[in-house]
Structures are given as structure tokens and as C-alpha cells.
Structure 1
Amino acid sequence: MTTPSATPSAERSRPAQRQTDIAEYVVSHGSVSATDLAEQFGVSLMTIHRDLDELERQGVVRKHRGGVSAQPSSVFESNVSYRMQASLAEKQALARRARELIEPGMAVMVDDSTSTLELARLLEGITPLTVVTNFLETVKLLAGRPGIRLLALGGEYHPTHDSFLGVPCIEAIEALRVDLLFASTSAVADGYAYHQEQEIVLVKRAMMRAAQRSVLMVDHTKLGRAALHRLAPLRDFELVLTDARAGQESLAEMREHGIRHEVVT
């Protein structure tokens, strides 16, 4: 006797598959109530809360009163899946301008941000070029590309960021000297760049020390926002790139602090 195949609703009832579906749903919607999720997936609120507890443990989402969000807060950085979808057109505009700063023969370091991932997509043709990164997505993108010498920074793998961090990563960075660093961060305010996680901050600071020049790529959603850890003064970057939707107050603040910046379209 042949066992009938599982129906879609039966598949969703399996915790692992349902949690994957919930994560995709939250990432695509940004923020959702627990009640909406229970209705969407046809399970009880208690079951949804258990699923959300597990997804929060994995760093995919953060729970708040009555619901869940994939969006960042001052102490929570979004999962890379959410960040890859957010402000994509603006990140692509930043990447096009950043590409103009790169010349063949350079050694370029890019961090584990989704902004610099868009830059990595544009590097083909600027060869020969050496690219250093700790971002697994960028490693996979550039591996085997003709004319690109790729140096992957090791360390402890963090699935929330899809990148390598920690002491081994920092030690690998400290052994290098590059021409240009392209980096991003999750918050900029009062003349400083900030990030929610100290491990990320320590790696980005090491990258800045290893670069002759550093460029910060921050779309308008990062401006005027707070995060727990101070990364560096904006004046430590040779150039700050932001997009045309940047608020006038944030731009005036950068001018007031004497920060060299460009608004790109």
C-alpha cells in the first residue's frame, strides 16, 4: 500500500519546515504580529511562540510585545537574509560610485555588509585586483573570477551575518595592508558610526587599521540612528557615501562635523 504524500499544510506542521517558512515570511514583511502568524500557518499561538523562541535563539528574528521583527534595533542587527532585501536600489547606487574609486592593481578589502556585496558584484573587469573579505557571500561570488585574487579571512563562522569573526579573523586582518577598505555599518549619528555587536565592531576597526584609506557606505536608513557600540568617528573615513534619500538634518550634521561625504543617485 502506497503512503500518500504529505499535503502542504502537513508539511507546514513540521516544526523545522514551519520555522523556515515563518522566517521567510517575517523577513519579507519586516514585522508581523504573533496572531497573524498563527492564522497564516494554521497553528496555535503557543506553537507560534515556541517557533519564534527558536528563531530568536538562532538570531533570525527578535521578539517584541505581541509580535516579531526582522528589522534592526539599537541592540539587534538584522539577519543577513533581511539585509540583502532592504534598500537594495540605494545600495546599488552606492556600489556604482564606490566602484569608480577602484583601479586595477589595487588590494581592496570589503567587510561583511550587504552594501559592499553590491560593490563586489561590479568588480569584474577591474583587473588585476586583490580582494580581501570575511563575508561568505562575497567569497562565493568572486571565487574563480578571472583576474581577481581572492583572500578569504577565516575565523568563527556566524550564520546571522554569514561571515567569519573573532580573534582568528582579526589576526588575519592584522597581517595585511590594503589600499582601500569599503565598509558599512548599521547606524550613524552625531559624527560617529555605530553597530549593535561588539564582535563586528572589533573586526571593522581592525579592517580600518589595515587600510590606507577607508570608505563608508551607508544608505539613508542608517542615518540618525542609534546602536549600542561606537565603531569610529566618521572623520576616520576618507569618504562617506550615502544616497539621495538622506535627510537634510543628517547631511547638515556631517557638514557641521567636517565629514567629507557624497550623495549619490
Structure 2
Amino acid sequence: MILNIAERHKLILKKLKKNGFVEVIDLSQEFGVSLVTIRKDLKALEEKKLLFRSHGKAIPSNPYTTEHHVSIKEKINRKEKIRIAVAAGLILKPNDSIIIASGTSVIEFAKNIKPVEGLIVLTASLNTSLILAKNPDIDVIQLGGIIRRSSSSVVGPISEKMLAEFSFTKLFLGVDGIDLEYGLTTTNPMEASLNKEMIKAAQKIIVLADSSKFGKRGFGRICGLEEIDQIITDSGIDPDFKEKLIDLGIDITVVD
């Protein structure tokens, strides 16, 4: 039976919803039409923002994140970020020396820190420094460097050189994307470079990420998932994605 365009589009979207992806060659064979026809179908559906084309296949949405100002990002999934921040605060131990990277998730973490004895915090985030500086029981070290206005944080060789002079017990890292194959990413390559140095300087790597970050990619790659010890996220995480992360040896903490 020969399908018309509307019928093909309906079946493509149904398969996409069920499997999480569709491949051009498989659709061509199943529908008995040319590869060119399927590519035109996928292009038409992409223009309607119903899928995203990628290397001979299509997936439900664009996996690449775009950069937004921190004032915009902090409003996205804020309730989830607060719950994640509270859970992260429970990890702190006496005499911890920690790195807090940049991003809205770690800013919420800073707001929810209950000081423990001997806590030292180094951060790239200007907002985080201002928040923690109000507490006399926390020693704060602000990294120097080039200011990224979109994130109110510092990046660059000065920041990276400073990190080489310290050793920390924990790194609390915010990211723009977590992909099973590509690893952790951010939208800015200079920030990704600084985050790599943070990972080298810390004994335990803890990622704070709401569930919208899973399956996404940013422009700058930070590291592979094998370098991560723990991820704290919300209950919106896909169960299959969670199981795959656990299989990689990552401790997953899910907040309700």
C-alpha cells in the first residue's frame, strides 16, 4: 500500500515517539519510497519543529543548547534547582575545601549552603562569591580572569593557572548538557576549558543538573561521563537514562 505524505508524516512521528529516533534508510525501506523522499519528509517535519534531523536520522528535539544570560536561565526549572541545591548542601563535611563552578544551579547551591566547620570555597562565579561573602564562617576565594557577562563568571588562563595551586575535596559543577556518548558540555568553550582544570583539582566531581539537561549537548565539551562521581537531579530524569548512568558507575541522587 502506497502512503501519502500525511500518512507518512503521521507514522514517522509515531515511530519517533515510540523509539526515540528514526533512521532515513529504515523509513525508506518500510514505506517503499526513495531516500530523497524521506529526507524531504523529515525536513518538512523539522520546519514545523516536530523533530530534529541529524546524520541520516531524526530525533525528537534539538540536542544542542544555546547560550542565554544568567538572569534568564535562573528562572528556568527554579523549583527543581532549589531542591537539588538543598540535597547538595547535605554532602558538605567539616574541613571541606570545595570548588563551585558557574551557572544557575550552583548559585542556588550557594544560597542553600549551611556552613560547616572549616569550609573553604573557591569559585568562578561572581554571584556565588557575593552570596557566600555575607557569611563570616565561610572562607571564600574568588578566581580571577576574563569576565563572561552572560554568566557573571570568570574564565581564561589566569583562572586556570590559579587552580593549579590548590587541591580540593569536592567540585560542584553545573552543566548545559549531559549526553551518554559526548559527556558533559557547556555552551562556552572557555568555560569548558576552565571546568576541565577544576576537575583536575578536585577529588570528587559532583554535577548539579535538572532533568532538562539530559540528552543535550553544548558547544564546549568538558569531559566524558567516566570522570564523574555523582549527579544530583530531579525526578524528571528518564528512567532508562538514569539506569545507563548507574551502569557507568555514577551515583545518581534524585530529589522529589
TM-score normalised to structure 1 length: 0.69
CA offset at residue 112 of structure 1? 0.8
| Aligned residues of 1:75 and 1:197 also touching (Cα < 8 A) | no
Alpha-carbon RMSD: 1.9
Tell whether 2:235 aligns with 1:214: no
Tell whether 2:133 aligns with 1:161: no
Aligned to 1:160, the other structure's residue is in SS state coil
Q: For 1:75 and 1:115, locate their aligned partners in 2 and report how far apart those are by CA, in whole Å.
A: 16
2:224 to 221, 230, 233: 233
CA offset at residue 227 of structure 1? 2.2
Q: For 1:141 and 1:263, locate their aligned partners in 2 and report how far apart those are by CA, in whole Å.
A: 26
Amino acid at match of 1:158: R
Count of matched residue positions in the alignment of Structure 1 and Structure 2: 195
Tell whether 2:165 aligns with 1:175: yes
CA offset at residue 253 of structure 1? 2.7
CA offset at residue 184 of structure 1? 1.3
Identity of aligned residues (%): 22
Amino acid at match of 2:78: L
**Where does structure 1 differ by over 6 angstroms across 4 or more consecutive aligned residues?**
none
Tell whether 2:46 aligns with 1:83: no
Tell whether 2:230 aligns with 1:243: no
| Aligned residues of 1:205 and 1:232 also touching (Cα < 8 A) | yes
CA offset at residue 73 of structure 1? 7.4
Tell whether 2:214 aligns with 1:223: yes
How do 1:100-249 residues align onto structure 2 when only pairs under 5 Å count?
100-191=90-181, 192-249=183-240
- The Cα offsets for residues 125-160 of structure 1, whole Å up to 9 and x where unpaired, read as 323311110101011111141211110000011111
| Aligned residues of 2:115 and 2:138 also touching (Cα < 8 A) | no
The 1:163/1:146 distance shift into structure 2, 3 A limit, reads same
| Aligned residues of 1:157 and 1:165 also touching (Cα < 8 A) | yes
| Aligned residues of 1:124 and 1:145 also touching (Cα < 8 A) | no
| Aligned residues of 2:65 and 2:177 also touching (Cα < 8 A) | no
Amino acid at match of 2:95: G
Tell whether 2:241 aligns with 1:258: no
Segments of structure 2 that go 5 or more residues without pairing to the other structure are 1-46, 48-61
Aligned to 2:175, the other structure's residue is in SS state coil
Q: For 2:184 and 2:141, locate their aligned partners in 1 and report how far apart those are by CA, in whole Å.
A: 26
Aligned to 1:85, the other structure's residue is in SS state coil
Amino acid at match of 2:117: T
Amino acid at match of 2:145: G
- The Cα offsets for residues 11-52 of structure 1, whole Å up to 9 and x where unpaired, read as xxxxxxxxxxxxxxxxxxxxxxxxxxxxxxxxxxxxxxxxxx
TM-score normalised to structure 2 length: 0.71
Amino acid at match of 1:149: D
Q: For 1:220 and 1:88, locate their aligned partners in 2 and report how far apart those are by CA, in whole Å.
A: 12
- The Cα offsets for residues 163-210 of structure 1, whole Å up to 9 and x where unpaired, read as 111110111111111111100100011151122221010011111111
Q: For 2:213 and 2:142, locate their aligned partners in 1 and report how far apart those are by CA, in whole Å.
A: 27
Aligned to 1:146, the other structure's residue is in SS state coil
Aligned to 1:105, the other structure's residue is in SS state coil
